[in-house]
């Protein structure tokens, strides 16, 4: 059950800075866990046109306090 607690876009016109934070609880015995995750990145979004995002999306496994750094890239079309 993912939950995003805070998500913010800031910037001019088509160029935006995005930041967010959330948590996920997976209630499966033996395989489940609690995870903290976030995003800090850049978004270019043109109305009826190109959508491009790149960001740093780290994950922390709470039970182990292990850190997994991830990078995400999105490419698409915006309506």
Q: Where are the domains of the chain?
A: 2-78
44 in Cβ contact with 50 (< 8 Å): yes
Query: CB within 8 A of 55, min separation 6: which ones?
Result: 18, 39, 40, 41, 42, 71, 72
Q: For the segment 4-49, what is each residue's pLDDT rounded down to a tens digit?
A: 666 778 988 899 999 988 888 887 766 668 889 899 999 999 989 9
Exposure string of 5-27, with b = 16+ CB inside 10 Å and e = fewer, is eeeeeeeeeeebebebeebeeee
- The label of the residue with tokens 């740093």 reads 56
Radius of gyration of the chain (CA): 15
Q: For the segment 43-65, what is each residue's pLDDT rounded down to a tens digit?
A: 999 989 999 999 999 999 888 88
């Amino acid at each position: 059950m993912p939950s995003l607690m805070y998500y913010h876009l800031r910037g001019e016109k088509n160029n935006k800075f995005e930041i967010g934070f959330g948590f996920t609880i997976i209630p499966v015995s033996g395989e489940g866990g609690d995870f903290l995750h976030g995003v800090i990145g850049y978004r270019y979004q043109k109305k009826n046109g190109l959508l491009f995002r790149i960001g740093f999306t780290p994950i922390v496994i709470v039970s182990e306090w292990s850190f997994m750094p991830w990078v995400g890239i999105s490419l698409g079309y915006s309506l």
